[in-house]
Amino acid sequence: MVILIVSGLAAILCVYYSCVLLFLYKGWKRIPNPSLERASVKTKVSILIAARNEEAHIGKTITAILAQDYPKHLMELLVVDDHSTDRTGEIIASYKADGVKLIRLHTDQKLNSYKKKAISEAIAQSTGELIVATDADCVMGTEWLRTIVTLYETKGYKLISSPVIYHQEKSYFEQLQTLEFLYLIGLGAASIGLRHPSTCNGANLAYRRDIFYELGGFQGIDDLASGDDELFLHKVAQRYPLDIGFCKSEKAVVYTEAKQNLKAFLSQRRRWASKSTKYKNKGIVLLGVGIWLFNLFILVTAIGSFFSEAMFLLCMALIIVKMLAELFFLFPLTRFAHRQKLLLGLPLLSILHVFYMVYIGIAGNTGKYHWKGRLVR
């Protein structure tokens, strides 16, 4: 009887997961490729970076931004030094002659989200119509800004999410992260394509300055360390669900690096998962719960395989269907990133993903964790 119940529920969840990825595939395909023709731009842009102890990366990021093929009088770069204990502030200050504005974050009040505070301070001192946020460990091509702004001026979106991709992997573990991260970026992009925005990445996010203030900035979501991207996306989507776009262009990609070890990876993903406690859109919550339950049932059947041949066969069937559904969804994403060879790691990743999803679904919503040398929640 127990096997029949487990089998029935597992089958339902398997069909659910497959249908979710089918719809996400359609959502990705629905996003149009923006015109690649060079267009004149007229929007004043404020690029914001919140940096803490990023002396190894911040110089490369600033250099890449200063190299943008964008009118200099229409662009400003504001970098916030969030109480760094290394040379981050000194490096930022060295670009003063290039017009880079250094903002030193000084607050005696203990906060849970220093990053949101840093971004808010930068926006308050910005003068651009369009805010473009990125991270202190990112690089991008010279047409990055022009591509995003062209989409903004063409479509009039109030918020634009753009792709973030890992690169320069130094190990097989980092390659698996790149493939898994493409899954996450694709999920966010596809949900925008389906007009039900669910997720985005703050390393490549643009939104109108007036919309930020109209919606009260990060008010109401400032008690979590993370969420300057996703939770703000949800605020915009609640008011303007049809005015959110995704810039599906290689030229709009921001590149960053995967985590070097499992501890750093899990810490990052716990921080990301912690945002789910603030989701107000029940549809997004149910989506996440459904995917988590599907992976939980695979784990349950895997444990049951030690006691029942039927459970073993069911576990194998679930894993195979999961793998095929993910291959179907990931193929166009890896092709977009020119990283199709990463799909060779999908069988292993698909299995590891089961354990990861079950763990992170629990750990990300309980307790505190360390991030940038701080204990946060």
pLDDT in tens, 210-261: 999 999 999 988 777 677 899 999 999 999 999 999 999 999 999 999 999 9
Q: Which pLDDT score is estimated for 164? A: 98
Q: Judge contact between 267 and 369, C-beta under 8 A.
A: yes
Q: Which segment of 100-104, 131-135, 274-278, 361-365 scores lowest on mean pLDDT?
A: 274-278
Question: Mean per-residue pLDDT for 129-142?
Answer: 97
Residue 376 has pLDDT above 60, yes or no: no
Cα–Cα nearest to 229, from 266, 278, 267 = 278
pLDDT exceeds 60 at position 375: no
E-strand ranges in the chain read 45-51, 75-81, 101-104, 130-135, 139-140, 159-161, 164-166, 205-208, 244-246, 254-256, 369-371, 374-376
pLDDT at 109: 66
Reading the block at residue 275, the tokens are: 């945002």
- CA distances, 293 to each of 8, 54, 105, 298, 316 (Å): 13, 37, 42, 9, 17
Return the structure tokens found at 127: 């003068």
What does the DSSP 8-state code read for residue 35? P
State residue 141's pLDDT score. Answer: 97
Residue 373 CA to residue 200 CA, distance in Å, equals 25
Q: What is the mean pLDDT of residues 280-286?
A: 84
Q: Can you give the pLDDT at residue 370?
A: 59
- Residues in Cβ contact with 314 at an 8 Å cutoff, skipping those fewer than 6 apart: 6, 7, 10, 301
Question: Does 4 or 336 have the greater pLDDT score?
Answer: 336
pLDDT of 269: 87
- Mean of the per-residue pLDDT values for the chain? 92
Q: Where does residue 338 rank: exposed (0-12), middle (13-18), buried (19+ CB within 10 A)?
A: exposed
CA-CA distance, 49 to 133, in Å (whole number)?
6
**Half-sphere exposure (Cβ direction) of 181: Cα atoms closer than 13 Å:** 26
Domains of the chain in sequence order = 2-27+281-363 (no CATH), 33-262 (3.90.550.10)
**pLDDT, greater one: 336 or 268:** 336
29 pLDDT more than 90: yes
Quick one: what percent of the chain has pLDDT higher than 70?
94
Predicted pLDDT at 112: 64
Token duo for residue 370: 């360390």
pLDDT tier, 34 (very low <50, low <70, confident <90, very high otherwise): confident
pLDDT-based confidence at residue 282 (cuts at 50, 70, 90) = confident
Least confident of 28-37, 95-104, 306-315: 28-37
DSSP H or E segment with residue 155: helix 144-155
* Tokens standing for residue 191: 């949900």
The answer on pLDDT for 369 being more than 60 is no
Place of tokens 């022009």: 146
C-beta of residue 111 within 8 angstroms of C-beta of residue 89: no
**Residue 335 CA: distances (Å) to CA of 81, 147, 169, 257:** 37, 20, 18, 19
Q: What is the pLDDT of residues 186-217, one digit of tens each?
A: 999 999 999 999 999 999 999 999 999 999 99
pLDDT of res. 8: 85
Rounded to whole angstroms, the Cα distance separating 308 from 360 reads: 28
- What pLDDT shows up at residue 114? 83
